[in-house]
Structure 1
Amino acid sequence: MNEDMLYQYLCPPLPPNTVTKWLVRINRIETRQRPTGVTAAEWQGKQSRIKGRAFEGLVRRVFKYVPAFTVSGNVATTTNEIDLLVQVGLSIQASPAIRQWGPHFLCECKLVKTGINANWVGKLNSVLELHSAEVGILISSSGAPRGKVKTQIHMHAFKTPPRVIVCISLAELQECENGRNLLKLLSTRYVEAKTGAAGLITQ
């Protein structure tokens, strides 16, 4: 079995519209008219909360299509609430990168227009430490980390014990809907975070 066949076995292709149907739902939330008697600030806050939950639902649905992942959403702990907590099954041992992740990883979802910033990375690193997780996935609508933020991620991955923050964009999730392999994408972004490299081949 070659590598591509192995990844297809570990992570079958997403069904059509897995991502698109959630984006349509989010767009409806964004374009919904403000009800009479509700202030602009109150409506904006409510919309942000609903969109955030919908984005978490999108990511949860995508991750559930990886047979080795058991996904729990909005997990309350003694210190905070985790967007997604993902337990990793034994079959993932066939992936050289992801088998290093340990029994679980955490995922934070950010549906905002701004780029990945140092505050997000610092907070996720703290959450990983609190919950004995080595890997955190940061799913955002804004793309890859740049400059000092990318350096910050590499430094967290370099320390002992390492805390590796893997950044995935909404556009990349859409590519997974169109045939890109999610598990191979996660593996490549993990290696980039560990090494400080960029633009490694994922296809």
Structure 2
Amino acid sequence: MEQTASTVSATQSMAGTNNSGASATTVVPSGPYLDFLTDYHIGDHAGMLGLLVSVVGLWLTYNEAKKSRTAAEAARDAAKDARRGRLLVDVSMDLAAIYDQLVRLKQTVRGDEWGSISGQIDALCRDLEAVRQAMLDGSTPDFSDSECGVVADASAKLREFENLLTRKNAKPPNDAKSEAALQRQVTIPLTTVIDSVTSLQHKARLISGKR
């Protein structure tokens, strides 16, 4: 009985040993294709190739984005430059028109009828203010603050002339003394205003002509 038990135990031990050996053995697939992939490290090469393709793709994407941004900036600068050119032309033409109005005002002051002086000065001040605003525009940095100040000073000076020429009992000069006073108070300063406007008009025309 003891011999039979020993035989069964030995048999089970041998079976366990065989099963352990079977479980420890791993079957590795093989074949010409797998050997080729292994021998030549095809997986590694494919990974490197994929990385290279990704890098090239990123570079192309970045380059196209850079070109698009450059083109957009160029278009924006061109539009800004065109607007600046139009404003310069407008300023030049407006100053030329103001010059003509100032010349007519000077002729009126020298004449015998001053009834239209207030209307002429009102129109001049409106036009001068429009020009000043255009000169202050951020897209036309061609005029200095002092030049913009010249336009504002011209408007202020015209209002002074209006006060002198339209006040009570004001009338065209009828003798040498009143003529001299008119020359000193209005005609000569008005000529200075005309000269300053002419200078600005020439500058605006010169700049716009170079664009």
| TM norm structure 1 | 0.28
> Which of structures 1 and 2 has the larger relative contact order (alpha carbons within 8 angstroms, sep 6+)?
2
| TM norm structure 2 | 0.28
Instruction: Looking at secondary structure, tell me which structure has more strand per residue.
Output: 1
Structure of higher CA gyration radius:
2
